[in-house]
A and B are shown apart, each in its own frame.
Chain A
C-alpha cells in the first residue's frame, strides 16, 4: 500500500489530488478565519473554498500520477534515475492508463480521451435537439438548456476538436519526419494529462451549486462574471486545455524544426507536417489570450477585480476583443491540421502528387497571418468602434483566397488520377471538399457586414459553424482516424461499416445543418430553448436528422473497438503510400526506426519512375520498390 502511494500511478494521483484539494480548501478557510470573515463565502460567483481546490487538486493529481517526478528530481539536484525507457511504449492496455513518454502511446491516449468527450458532447447535443423538436418546453427548462449548449460547445471545441488533431499528429508526425519521438517526451506526457482534467472540470460543473456554466462557450462578460459557480469551472477548464495546447504546440514546433530526418528539407515535408507547423504557430501566440481573458473573468468573479464591470469603469466589449483574438485563430487551429490530413489522404488514394505543393504550403502560412487580422468580424453588431468593421470585412473575405487555393489544388490533384474510393478515409475527404465549400460560402456571406447585421446570432451562424466544424473539421478527423487506423493498431477496420458510418454521417450532417440556414434567415435566434411555432416543422426535421447523425456514430465506435481487437492484419502499408510512416511496421516498433531514414525526394512522388521519398535502413544499395501489401485494401472486389 505504501508503495502505491509513493510510486507514480493512479493511487498516488488520487492521494495527491486529495492533498492538493485539501491544501487549497484549508488555505482558503485559514485565510478567511485570520481575516475575520465568514469561513464559507457562498455568493453565486464566489465559493473560493471550491474554486481554489479546483486548481490545487488537479495540480496534485498531475504530480501524483507522475508527470513531474523526473523534473523534480532534476530540480532538487537529486541523482536522476537513469532512464531505462520503462515508461516508453505500451506492452498491455494498462500502460495506456499511466504516464507514458512514447509519442505513439500518447497519441492513442489523446485520441481515445478526446473521443470520449466527443460522445459526451454529442449526447448533450441529442438532449438539446430533443428539447427543440417541438416548440414549447418539454424536456429541460431554459436554465438547463443554456447549460447544455454551453457545455456541448466547450467539450467539442476544447477537449475534442483541438486536441484530437494534436493526438493524430502526435502519433503520425514524428514517424512522418523520421524522428524517434517528439522533442520533449515528458512535456508531451504532461500535455496529455492536463486534457482529461479540462474535460472533467467542464463536466463537474453539472454537480456544483447553480449547475453547469450557461453563458455559452463564448462566456461573454458580464453574463459570465455574474454567473453561478459553474462558470468558474469553465474558466479553469480552459486554463488546463489551453496549457495543454500551448505545450504541445511548442513540442511540435521544436520537433518539426530540429528533428527532421537527414534530407528532409522544408520543401520535402509532407503537408500534414506543414499543417501542424502552421497550427502550432497559431496556438503558441493566440492561446495565451483566451487563458488571460478567462483569468480576468475568474478574477472579476472571485477577487472582485473590475475588468469587465461597466459600473466600476470596466470595459465590457474588450472581453470580446481578447476572446476573439484567440477564438478566431482557433477556428483555423481546428481546421489547418484537417487540411493536412486531407492532402495526405487524397494524394494517397488518388495515386498522384499534390497539385501545386509549394502554393499549398504557402497558403497555410497565408491563413496563419490573415487569421490574426479578422477577429472583429464576430463583433460587427457588438457596438465596437465602427471604423474597425470594414477593414476586418476585407481581411475576412480575403482569407477565402488561400482557402480556395487549397480546394482547387485538391481538385487539381484528382485530375488525371487513379481515384480509389474503397477507403472510408477517401470518402470522408471528398465529402469534406463538398461540405467545407458550403461552409466557406456561408462564411463569406457572414463576412459581408450588411448580411451579418441581419443573421448575426441566429441559426444561420449555428449552421455555418457546424458546416465548417462538423462538415469540415470532424470529417477530416474521421478521414484521419480511418486512414491511420491500420498504422496505429496494425489491423484493418471494416470498410462496410465504415461506409455505413460515412453515408449516415453525410446525410445526418446535411439534414441537420442545411435547414438551420433557412430558419436563421427567417428569424430564429440561436441559444433559445423555445421558438415561434412557424419554425416547428424544420426543427422537427433537424432533430430527426441529428438523431440519425448521433446514432450512426455508434457504428463508428463499434467498428473501431471490434476492429482494433479482431480486425484482419493490415500490414505495414495497406494504402501503398509514400510517406515514411508507412515504410515501418504497423504498429511501428518502439523508437520507430532501427536507423534514421534518409529522405531523398518529395513526399508524393506517385507515378514518377524510380522516385523515392525516403530510403529506409537496410535498403541503401538496392533502390527496390517494396512489395506492395494487398492486405486489407478493402472488401474483395
Chain B
C-alpha cells in the first residue's frame, strides 16, 4: 500500500470527529433535566456521542477516500491488487472496538449503580397503571390521588403495579422508565425503582408500553414541589386510601 497518506487520513478523521462531536454536543438531545439521574445519563450519552463520532468517521473517511482514490477509470477492465488480508490490521480492528465497547459497558454499569442508589428518607409511592389511567397511592400518608406529587431533592421509591395489561412509567425529564407488570404478589418482577427529582415544576407522566386503544392518551400530571411543606399541604387535601379497596397485588416495598 505504498503512497497511502495515512497521516492525512488520520488527521481528517480526528478533525471531523472533533467537529462532529462539538456540533452534536450542543443540542440538549434529551430535553430538560429534572432528576439527579438525568445529568448522569446525559453525561454518559455525551461520552457515547464522542466515541460514536469517532467510530463513524473512522469508517467514513476510509470509505470515501477509497471511492475517490480507487474509482475505476472509464474503460478500465482490469482488477485491483490481489490483497487477501493483513493479520496485523485484522487484530487491530478486533481489539480496539472490543476495548471501546467494554469501556462503555463499564461506564454504563457505574452510571446504572449511581442512578439506582437508595437514599435514606425516600418517600414510598405506589404507581398503578390501568387501561387507561394512572393512580398513585402514598402508603405512609395513607392517601390516594390521580396526580403524582413529589418533593424537590427528596428521593421517591416507586413501586409499579398493573391491574390489566403492561404499562410503562416514563417521565422524560427524569430519564427514568419502568414497566408496570401485572403479577401475583411476590412474583419475580423487579417492580421498584428510585428517582430523585431535583427541579420543581410540572411534568407529564407518559405511558410507553402499548396498552390498547387509549395508550396514546394515557398520561398523568407530575408535580414536583419546592418544599416538603407544600407537598404536605397537597397531601392533606387528598382522599384517604379507601379501606375496601383490594390492596393492589403485593405490598409496597419498604
Chain A residues numbered 405-457 whose CB sits less than 8 Å from any CB in chain B = 405, 407-409, 411-412, 414-421, 430, 433-434, 437-438, 441, 444-445, 448-451, 453-454, 456-457
A448 touches B82 (CB 8 A): no
Given contacts A226-B165, A353-B84, A528-B215, contact A398 B98 (CB under 8 A): yes
Please, which residues of chain A bring their CB within 8 A of the CB of B213? 142-143, 146
Given contacts A351-B72, A383-B160, contact A394 B102 (CB under 8 A): yes
B181 touches A382 (CB 8 A): yes
Please tell me which one of the listed residues A310, A317, A390, A457 contacts residue B184 in the complex, with CB atoms under 8 A apart.
A310
B31 touches A434 (CB 8 A): no
User: Does A530 belong to the interface (CB within 8 Å)?
Assistant: yes
User: Does B105 belong to the interface (CB within 8 Å)?
Assistant: yes
Question: For residue A407, which residue of chain B has the nearest CB?
Answer: B59
Please, which residues of chain A bring their CB within 8 A of the CB of B190? 383-386
Cα-based distance from A387 to B137 in the complex (angstroms): 28
Please tell me which one of the listed residues A381, A404, A415, A438 contacts residue B83 in the complex, with CB atoms under 8 A apart.
A415
User: Does B148 belong to the interface (CB within 8 Å)?
Assistant: no
B82 touches A383 (CB 8 A): no
Closest Cβ of chain A to B249, distance in Å, is: 8
B67 touches A421 (CB 8 A): yes
User: Does B15 belong to the interface (CB within 8 Å)?
Assistant: no
Please, which residues of chain B bring their CB within 8 A of the CB of A605? 82
User: Does A545 belong to the interface (CB within 8 Å)?
Assistant: no
Question: For residue A309, which residue of chain B has the nearest CB?
Answer: B182
User: Does B187 belong to the interface (CB within 8 Å)?
Assistant: yes
B112 touches A390 (CB 8 A): yes
Cα-based distance from A444 to B52 in the complex (angstroms): 9
A434 touches B84 (CB 8 A): no
B66 touches A417 (CB 8 A): yes
Please, which residues of chain A bring their CB within 8 A of the CB of B44? 448, 450-451
User: Does A529 belong to the interface (CB within 8 Å)?
Assistant: yes
0/1 interface trace, chain B 58-80, chain A, CB 8 Å (1 if under)? 01101100110011101111111
- Kindly name the residue among B30, B210, B215 whose own CB sees the greatest number of chain A CB atoms within 10 A: B210
0/1 interface trace, chain B 175-214, chain A, CB 8 Å (1 if under)? 1111111111001111100000000000000111111111
Cα-based distance from A458 to B208 in the complex (angstroms): 7
Closest Cβ of chain A to B39, distance in Å, is: 11
B48 touches A628 (CB 8 A): no
User: Does B232 belong to the interface (CB within 8 Å)?
Assistant: no
Please, which residues of chain B bring their CB within 8 A of the CB of A404? 93-94, 97
Cα-based distance from A628 to B31 in the complex (angstroms): 59
Question: For residue A408, which residue of chain B has the nearest CB?
Answer: B93
B78 touches A418 (CB 8 A): yes
B210 touches A215 (CB 8 A): yes
Cα-based distance from A146 to B76 in the complex (angstroms): 54
Cα-based distance from A390 to B97 in the complex (angstroms): 19
A146 touches B63 (CB 8 A): no
B101 touches A401 (CB 8 A): yes
Chain B residues numbered 1-52 whose CB sits less than 8 Å from any CB in chain A = 1, 4, 29-31, 37, 40-41, 44-45, 48, 52
0/1 interface trace, chain A 519-539, chain B, CB 8 Å (1 if under)? 001110111111100000000
0/1 interface trace, chain A 43-74, chain B, CB 8 Å (1 if under)? 00000000000000000000000000000000
Cα-based distance from A216 to B4 in the complex (angstroms): 51
Please, which residues of chain B bring their CB within 8 A of the CB of A458? 208
Chain B residues numbered 135-184 whose CB sits less than 8 Å from any CB in chain A = 160, 164-166, 168, 170, 172, 175-184
Closest Cβ of chain B to A515, distance in Å, is: 12
A441 touches B56 (CB 8 A): yes
B56 touches A222 (CB 8 A): no
B62 touches A381 (CB 8 A): no
Closest Cβ of chain A to B187, distance in Å, is: 7
Question: For residue A436, which residue of chain B has the nearest CB?
Answer: B59
Given contacts A448-B108, A606-B80, contact A355 B183 (CB under 8 A): no
Please tell me which one of the listed residues B60, B85, B183 contacts residue A359 in the complex, with CB atoms under 8 A apart.
B85
B84 touches A355 (CB 8 A): yes
User: Does A123 belong to the interface (CB within 8 Å)?
Assistant: no
Please tell me which one of the listed residues B76, B86, B166 contacts residue A412 in the complex, with CB atoms under 8 A apart.
B86
Closest Cβ of chain A to B16, distance in Å, is: 14
0/1 interface trace, chain A 622-635, chain B, CB 8 Å (1 if under)? 00000010000000
Please, which residues of chain B bring their CB within 8 A of the CB of A1? none
User: Does B243 belong to the interface (CB within 8 Å)?
Assistant: no
Question: For residue B55, which residue of chain A has the nearest CB?
Answer: A441
User: Does A400 belong to the interface (CB within 8 Å)?
Assistant: yes
Cα-based distance from A353 to B172 in the complex (angstroms): 49
User: Does B247 belong to the interface (CB within 8 Å)?
Assistant: no
A383 touches B178 (CB 8 A): yes
Please tell me which one of the listed residues B31, B41, B62, B98 contacts residue A411 in the complex, with CB atoms under 8 A apart.
B62
Please, which residues of chain A bring their CB within 8 A of the CB of B76? 418
Please, which residues of chain A bring their CB within 8 A of the CB of B211? 223
Please, which residues of chain A bring their CB within 8 A of the CB of B177? 381, 453-454, 456-457
Question: For residue A421, which residue of chain B has the nearest CB?
Answer: B71
Please, which residues of chain B bring their CB within 8 A of the CB of A381? 168, 177-179
Cα-based distance from A414 to B70 in the complex (angstroms): 8
User: Does A598 belong to the interface (CB within 8 Å)?
Assistant: no
User: Does B104 belong to the interface (CB within 8 Å)?
Assistant: yes
Please, which residues of chain B bring their CB within 8 A of the CB of A414? 62-63, 66-67, 70
Chain B residues numbered 107-153 whose CB sits less than 8 Å from any CB in chain A = 108-109, 111-112, 115
0/1 interface trace, chain B 87-103, chain A, CB 8 Å (1 if under)? 00110011001100110
Chain B residues numbered 211-239 whose CB sits less than 8 Å from any CB in chain A = 211-217
User: Does B81 belong to the interface (CB within 8 Å)?
Assistant: yes
B56 touches A401 (CB 8 A): no
Please tell me which one of the listed residues B80, B160, B209 contacts residue A418 in the complex, with CB atoms under 8 A apart.
B80
User: Does A518 belong to the interface (CB within 8 Å)?
Assistant: yes
User: Does A350 belong to the interface (CB within 8 Å)?
Assistant: yes
Please tell me which one of the listed residues A226, A394, A444, A525 contacts residue B170 in the complex, with CB atoms under 8 A apart.
A525
A350 touches B80 (CB 8 A): yes
A357 touches B85 (CB 8 A): yes
User: Does A92 belong to the interface (CB within 8 Å)?
Assistant: no
Please, which residues of chain A bring their CB within 8 A of the CB of B40? 450
A310 touches B215 (CB 8 A): no
Given contacts A315-B187, A450-B111, A457-B168, contact A444 B101 (CB under 8 A): yes
Cα-based distance from A381 to B76 in the complex (angstroms): 56
Given contacts A434-B60, A525-B208, A607-B82, contact A313 B41 (CB under 8 A): no
Given contacts A420-B72, A528-B216, contact A451 B48 (CB under 8 A): yes
B48 touches A448 (CB 8 A): yes
B182 touches A310 (CB 8 A): yes
Cα-based distance from A533 to B108 in the complex (angstroms): 33
Given contacts A398-B101, A417-B70, A458-B208, contact A146 B215 (CB under 8 A): yes
The 9 closest A-B pairs by CB, nearest first: A607-B79, A523-B172, A352-B80, A414-B66, A417-B80, A607-B82, A397-B101, A416-B81, A457-B208
A sample of 9 inter-chain contacts (CB < 8 A) reads A146-B212, A310-B182, A316-B183, A383-B189, A434-B63, A448-B108, A450-B37, A450-B115, A576-B77
Interface residues of A (CB under 8 A from B): 142-143, 146, 215-216, 220, 222-223, 226, 310-311, 313, 315-317, 350-353, 355-359, 381-386, 389-390, 393-394, 397-398, 400-401, 404-405, 407-409, 411-412, 414-421, 430, 433-434, 437-438, 441, 444-445, 448-451, 453-454, 456-458, 518, 521-523, 525-531, 576, 605-608, 611, 628, 637
Taking A317-B181, A317-B189 as known contacts, 20 extra A-B pairs with beta carbons closer than 8 A to each other, sorted by chain A number, are A142-B216, A143-B213, A215-B210, A226-B165, A310-B184, A353-B82, A383-B190, A386-B190, A401-B98, A411-B62, A415-B62, A417-B70, A418-B70, A419-B67, A430-B67, A437-B56, A448-B48, A454-B41, A526-B208, A576-B77
